[in-house]
Structures are given as structure tokens and as C-alpha cells.
Chains A and B, each alone.
Chain A
């Protein structure tokens, strides 16, 4: 099984990007910049597509084999049911994400794959997406309150149809824990106590990898949400809250209590390296997204992996779960195509979700009522955690401005991991400048 695209994209930093792709992207960027006036002229000129059209164009960044086949199964099933043809344009996910700006301004497909979170709201706010409140009237009952919240734009309208998601939490090997008599911690104090015990047992208590920069954001997000609440996380990532305040420094101070228990070599390791350590029982637990489990191709190891949500700390118990959602959006142009809306509505039904999950079973279907009978006990557990969550965050780099995540947080977190120091004043200064440029 392929891992979620995000993870794959980031994993590719180890050499997956050859020079040619880079140059191509760079060249395309330069041309796009030079040709921006032309493009702007084009967008004005493209006429509305006929609303009675029986075709839908679908842009997919799910270029890995399994998700690609899964979406094909969905479009085929939809065509069979409704008689509407769907033409799918698959673009490699790196390219798809990097060129989304020009894509949306050029001639986008009617509907396309994307993520919930800031980046969805951002394009909605720029008027590049079409609201789909009418679709949600039909499918709203299929989704939990948290899913609905994650699909809403800043203007209160609905824009997004969730397809699947995957939770972040602590993973561990059941047999190791049974052997040593460890118990699942539900509070932060229990977590640190357990970590201390693991350390004396000669384990790395909390596995950790941050060579690629993004995995550490998971720890930050959870500590922030458990200390300051879900809404603060959302306001901070949207820069409605300042970084230069005690609430933020508290997050880092709390993290300092965990740092001694996290793998000290994190900065030189990728999450795949860490997954190996956990699999080899060198470390006690690992806070990561559930795509971690796809690393264990050995059936006995895979069956031995269990999961618990991030323990409670100060507020809101364990109500908030970090579970990035992937799904579909409607472009501005697609808003005039009723068939495209029908397609989105189809994906939002348990029926459509089952078709997707029948091919790609690694993720958790987002709609209620989707078939859970084929879930492994672990997947079932994770699905329960998500469906019981009061709020779902999308992971820092989806909830925040991408430049904030990539250019500011990655270096800041890496230097924090190195020496435990962080300059929140500087974080605020950078955030101010970057969000102002949007």
C-alpha cells in the first residue's frame, strides 16, 4: 500500500526529487511568472460550461497506484449509476500541490482532490472555489459535526467533501508493553512517568524523527491543543493569535519535559528510520500519523501494533484529534456544472466511500455509515477515536499558511529540538510579515 501523499511527498526529500523535476518546476514557475498577465487574461475569457453537461472533469493529485485505482473505481461506479462521464486528469502529487496556484487560475477541472484546512479556506476566500451548500444539504447527515466544521470556509459556506482521513497518535508494540507491564497513559503525568520507566528499561521512550522537518509539528500541535484548546490552535495557525505570548511559550516549556525522552538523534532521522526502531522494539512508542503502520510489511509485526490517543493535559480532555482529511473541492468553473455537484454528492455517501475503500483500505472513510466490517481492530479503534472527536485538526502544515509551516516552523522546531531554545518574538515577527503578504 502506498502511504498518504503528504507523507510520501515529504519522504521524497531523501533524494526523490531529481534535478530535472526541480528544473522543470522552477522553469514552469519562471514562465508562469512571466506569463501571469496572459493567464489573467485567459481566466476572464473562459466561458461558463453548459450547466446541463453530462460530463465532469476531475483533476486528481492522487497519482500513486492504489489511490489512483480507488478514484477510478469511484468514477466508474458513478458513471454506471448516473450516466455522467467523468474524465480524470491525474497529475503527480508533487506537481499538483506545487502548481495549485496557477492551476486554479488557469482552466481547472470541475472538481479536484485537495485537503481540508487553511489552504482550502484560503482559496475559497479568494473566490477560486465554488460553495457547495446545496450538496451538503444532501450529504450533511453522513458526516460528524467535526467533519462538517473542517469542510467549512471562513465565510461559513461549505466547500469541501471529505473522503478519508488518518489520525495521529501514539503507536506501540503490544507484545513489548505486555512483557514489560506498561499501561496506556491517559494523562500527561502518566505519560512522563511511563517514559521515565522505559528509559530505565533501556528503551528510547518516545521515538522521534525530524530530518524532514514536518513530523515534529505533530508534537507541537497536540501539546498546543491539549494546553490551550482546539480553537487556540486554529486561531494561532490562522494568525489571529500572536505567537509572542505566554500560551505559546508554555507549549515549548511543556515540550521540554518530553525532550529528554524523545530520540536524541531525531534530526538525522526520517520517520521511516524511526518506524524501524519501533518495529525492532528499540523504542517504546511513537507519535505519528497512522500511515506509520504501512511500514510494517511483516504481518506479525503489523498485527502487534496498537494505538492510543495523545493523553490529556490541561483542557478539553482528549476531545481534539489531529486527523488530516483528504477529499474533493469544486472549482469556480465547476460550480456551474450540476453533474460535478452530483459527483461530489455521490462521493459523500456511504456507498461512494465504500467503493473507494474497497480499493484503498489503508485510510479511514470519512462518512458515517460506511462499511466498517473489513476494518482491522486497529483501524476500528482509530475510526472510533475520530468519530468520537469533538474537533479535528488538520496538522500544522495544512491548518497554517504553508510558508509559515515550511519556512518558519521547520527551522524553529529543528533548532528547538537541538538546544531547547525558541524565540517566540521572532516567530511572531516572521508570522506577521508572511501573513501580511497573503
Chain B
């Protein structure tokens, strides 16, 4: 970059010394293209991300009935106080989100990794298995609801049928019992998340230089050692992505609890509360916005972690 090239717009000599023709050539179409390329994404970003975010942050400090703009009244921190002190579903929702994170991190993600390692062994039909495990990621919300209903239904579900309790008073009420339904939902979430993690790790494993493996074997490492000491550290970029995805997935977990019972009765999650307060008839814009801001602030932590890692690595390179 030290030698100014003719094609570099910024790296050239001071403008006064530049030949007039070149400046004109850059300033016409190139300038248009450049400003379009910078302006359009910025505009989209502004309209779709920043303005709504800032607006909803601003609304979280107001009371508003969603009708005319004059009805917006400043409310200070009262929405946040309401959430923390008087809103019974909030703290259970936080607990459930934490539980969701722990469960995904300790069970679903390792399960996905395990699937990836198994499928990476060139076993016969591994493509088919891959597709099967990945299918849940692609299914729509409505379909997932139907599928798990078939499993968990108290009287006619597969699970109670296998346990031999279907139709008896001992039958477990997988969705209705507030002590059980969060685990039922977590299993359903794992079913999806593991497939997602598996695909990412499969790609990661394919990207690991095979000579590393050979070198480890020559040095006398066994399979377990090879994996944990050599392969796994070599997949560091994928690991970072997986950590971030796991955290984000657990924060925005929503669809499964929503199809079960709209996130009530033991299935409260922050995201479900946001939807309940912002969309539809139970609209309380101030409280909903405050919940959304809380969720945003929590999400910023892993995002910052990821970005600092990603950019930090760029600098090293």
C-alpha cells in the first residue's frame, strides 16, 4: 500500500499535484457508485436497525397507548421499575433464559459436536444422516408445533404411550405441568440446535489441515488426544462462532415456547414477553419496549465479545 497506484483513489499524491483528468474521471461515475454503495446499506441499516432500536429505547421511557403521538407521556424509569418489581413473569423469564443457555451450552452444543465428529468419519450414508439431523433447522414454526404435539400430548402422545401411562391419571402432562414443560421445550430446542451446531462443526472439521492429524498420530497421540489437543484448538474460529450462536439462540429462544402455550405457565422467556407486550391486543408499548431494551443490552455482551474477537484477529493477521 505504500506506493501510490493509479487505481487507488486515496493513496495518490496530494490533490493539488494530481493531473486534472484523473480527478474528473473519479469524481463522476465513481463517486456516484461509491456513494451509492456506501449510502444504500447505510440507509437500510438506519431504517431497519438503528432508527427502530433508538425509537424503542426512547419509548421505553414513556407511557403510550399506541394511538396519537400526543398521548406519549414521559414516564422516567417507571417501566423498568414495573418490570423488576411488579411484573411476575419477568424473573422467571430471566431464569428460564439462563437455564436455556446452560442447557444449550452443556448438552445441545456438545451433542452437535459429537454428531459432527461421527459424521466426519466417512461412514456410509453420512450425507443422509446429515440431512436428517439438519432438517429440524429448516422446519417452520407451525410444523414444529405439530410434531412435538404428537410426542408430548398427554392422552394421545407417543411419549406417554411408550411409558404406558397414556390415558391414565399418572400420565405426565408434558406441556401443562409447569415443572416439566420447560424441560420438554428444552429437548425440542436441542433437537434443533444440535443440527445447527453439527453443520457448522462439520464445515469446520473439513477445513482442518489433515497433516495436523497425521503429525499428531506420528507423535503417538490417541484419537481423544488428537481431537482435544490438536483438532479442536485448530477450529478456533468456528468455536467462537458457536459460542456466540449458542448465547444468541438462548436469548432469542421464542418459537418453541410460543407454539406450546405462548410462553405462559412455566415457559416464560424474555422474548415471549416482548412479543406479548408489543404485538396484538395486550399491547403495552412502554413495558414492551423496556423489555426489548433489556434483552438488547444482554445480547450486546456476546456480540461485543464476538466482534472484539473477530477484529482482534484481523489485526493480528
Contacts and interface: CB of A to CB of B under 8 A. Distances in A.
B217 interface: no
Contacts of B51: 34
A269 B67 contact: no
Contacts of B279: 22, 25-26, 29, 98
Contacts of A212: 261-262
A98 B281 contact: yes
Interface string B41-85: 000000100011001100100011111110000010010001001
B149 A402 contact: no
Given A16-B142, A267-B177, A426 B284 contact: no
B302 interface: no
B299 interface: no
B276 A97 contact: no
A397 to B, nearest CB: 8
Contacts of A426: 86, 88
Interface residues of A, number: 53
B262 A411 contact: no
B278 A29 contact: yes
A272 interface: no
A45 interface: no
Interface string A260-291: 00000111110001000000000000000000
A437 B64 contact: yes
B52 A33 contact: yes
Interface string A142-184: 0000000000000000000000000000000000000000000
A34 B63 contact: no
Interface string A1-33: 000000000000111111100100110011001
Contact of B65 (A17, A97, A211, A438): A438
A53 B86 CA distance: 52
Contacts of A436: 63
A254 interface: no
B65 A265 contact: no
Among A33, A412, A423, residue most surrounded by chain B Cβ atoms (within 10 Å): A33
Given A101-B67, A268-B173, A430-B86, A411 B264 contact: yes
Interface string B269-281: 0000001111111
B176 A265 contact: yes
A47 interface: no
Interface in A375-416: 397, 402-403, 405-407, 410-412, 414-415
What secondary structure prevails in chain A residues at the interface with B? helix
A352 interface: no
B225 interface: no
B67 A437 contact: no
Interface in B171-211: 173-178
Contacts of A14: 145, 149, 259
Given A13-B261, A105-B67, A406-B276, A430 B87 contact: yes
B142 A18 contact: yes
B141 A101 contact: no
Contact of A267 (B89, B173, B255): B173
A211 B282 contact: no
A34 B52 contact: yes
Given A25-B280, A213-B264, A268-B177, A15 B89 contact: no
A406 B264 CA distance: 10
A268 B154 contact: yes
A15 B177 CA distance: 19
A40 interface: yes
Given A212-B261, A403-B282, A433 B52 contact: no
A48 to B, nearest CB: 19
B146 A15 contact: yes
B265 interface: yes
Contact of B149 (A15, A37, A434): A15
A36 interface: yes
A434 B64 CA distance: 10
A39 to B, nearest CB: 9
A429 interface: yes
Contacts of B86: 426, 429-430, 433
A105 B63 CA distance: 19
A434 B69 contact: no
A246 interface: no
B136 interface: no
B239 interface: no
A208 to B, nearest CB: 12
Contact of A97 (B63, B64, B87, B281): B281
A265 B276 contact: no
22 contacts: A13-B261, A14-B145, A15-B145, A15-B149, A17-B259, A18-B142, A19-B140, A29-B278, A29-B279, A34-B55, A97-B280, A97-B281, A265-B154, A268-B175, A269-B154, A403-B282, A403-B284, A410-B264, A415-B88, A434-B284, A437-B64, A437-B287
Given A18-B141, A430-B82, 10 more contacts: A19-B141, A25-B279, A34-B47, A34-B51, A98-B279, A268-B174, A273-B155, A403-B283, A405-B281, A414-B264
